[in-house]
Chains A and B, each alone.
Chain A
Amino acid sequence: MASIHPMTLRTAAFAVCALVVSAPPSFADARSDAKTQVDFGINVAQRGLWREAIYRWEKAVELDPTYAAAYNDLAIAYEHEGQLEKARKAYEKALELAPNNAQIRQNYELFKEINDRTSSGKDNR
């Protein structure tokens, strides 16, 4: 087995630690707190407690307004509760933050399909 120079390993370990520590503490805290709320929201949504999930995800986006996943989850919950205008805004915000996220885009496309189908007939007055 090829031996690794202890200096190289120490440097690598230091680099990893430095990477973790150098992240802005406020951002890391906000994202971490928001993630806790998101995880809790997912947990309760799976048990059908969508209103509690909305409360958690609203808190998450308040804590970290750059958290695309939280906006996506919030949009789904609004959709489930029939708050379609709020759902649309939340999806659009999620896509603004993560324009290349295929899952958010797919959710939004499915939402739009329902919204377009129901908001008006083909040529209603």
Chain B
Amino acid sequence: MIGRAPAKTTGRLALAALAAILAAGTAACSASYLEIPIETPIQPKLDVTPFQRVLVAGFVAGGSDDIDANQETVRLLRSQLRTKSSLKVIDADILPLMEVAQDQAKATAEDRDRENASPQSTNSGDHQSNAAMPLPQKIKDEKDLEQYERLFANTAYWKRIGEEFQNPLIVTGTVLFTNRSTSGFVQRDQEVYDPYGRRRVIPTRTYMERKGFMLRPKFIFIDGRSGATMYSESYREEVLYNAQQNTPALSSYFELMDRLVPNFLSALSSQKIKGSRVLLK
């Protein structure tokens, strides 16, 4: 004979069922996500398949006299490309691009003068003054550097360089590395202890004088077969230290270039960026 369960037992069973449902729900919620490492492959910004070789030709550099920004940039980029790109790096003398640009500007000015001297000349005075403007001998700021930009648009020159090195991909551009000093309020974390000896970290604003360096490179990628610019990109990075701290210019230069090199390389070769994401259930 099957008897009816007492009311108390039925109650306990129902409560247990409810608890089980709630527990299952809680467990499901607590394990509903999972952190997973991922590697994002990034395709190069440039199609470099037509090239087997790369020539880091040189840079128009200026700013601080503490380092030779042209030489250091060429050396650094060549060594990075050797290890992190499939292109063969051409070891060649670094081109003195400032001198080249000055010679080209001088030649253009002379041509213009000859044209003006001829009786058939119909050039306006405005045009003359632009062409005859000499390039600054020393590059102190971005304004000085801008005047050298026309060198990179000279396709005939770059085509000739390309022919000399069997049509490689040419990397060139400008680099400005300057001293920088600034003063103002800086937020810093300060440790404080209350009367009970408990440690706390409080953000405080302090007036500070700081000095350091600013790096502003522009990388230009030129097709050595045609002399035409394929792609260019500019960056700006700066590093500031306490005014009392004496950091050598060269180590600051490398610190700043370290930040930019992955971006430079991503123009030429595929990169993998490591990170983690949260998978959800």
Q: Measuring CB to CB, which residues of chain A are less than 8 angstroms from any residue of chain B?
A: 3-4, 6, 9-10, 12-13, 16, 35, 38-39, 42, 45-46, 68-69, 72-73, 76, 79-82, 84, 101, 103-104, 106-107, 110-111, 114, 117-118, 120-125
Q: Give per-residue flags for B72-116: 1 if the beta carbon is below 8 A from chain A beta carbons, else 0.
A: 000000000000000000000000000000000000000000000
Tell me, yes or no, whether B119 is within 8 Å of chain A by CB.
Answer: no
Chain A residues with CB under 8 Å of B14's CB are: 9-10, 12-13
- Are A107 and B42 interface neighbours, CB within 8 A? no
Chain B residues near A13: list those with CB within 8 A: 14, 17-18
Q: Knowing that A12-B14, A110-B275, A114-B273 are A-B contacts, what are 20 other residue pairs whose CB atoms are under 8 Å apart, sorted by A's residue number?
A: A4-B11, A10-B10, A16-B17, A42-B281, A69-B32, A69-B281, A72-B279, A76-B36, A103-B33, A103-B278, A111-B277, A114-B275, A118-B263, A121-B263, A122-B234, A122-B235, A123-B234, A124-B231, A124-B233, A125-B232
Residues in B whose Cβ lies below 8 Å from that of A122 = 233-236
B7 interface hit (Cβ, 8 Å): yes
Distance of A101 Cα from B14 Cα, bound (Å): 34
Indicate if B41 sits at the interface (CB-CB under 8 A). yes
Count of chain B residues near A, Cβ 8 A: 38
Structural contact, B10 and A9, CB atoms closer than 8 A: yes
CA gap between A50 and B20 in the complex, in Å: 35
Distance in angstroms from A106 CB to nearest chain B CB is 7
Q: Which of B45, B235, B271, B278 contacts A107 (CB 8 A)?
A: B278
- Chain B residues close to A by CB (< 8 Å): 7-8, 10-11, 14-15, 17-18, 21, 32-34, 36, 38-43, 45, 229, 231-236, 263, 266-267, 271, 273, 275, 277-281
Contact with B42, one of A68, A72, A114 (Cβ below 8 angstroms): A114
B140 → A minimal CB distance (Å): 22
A80 to chain B, nearest CB (A): 5
Write the chain A residue with the least CB distance to B37: A80
From B41, which residue of chain A is reached at the shortest CB distance? A82
A82-B42 contact, Cβ under 8 Å, with A46-B36, A103-B280, A110-B275 = yes
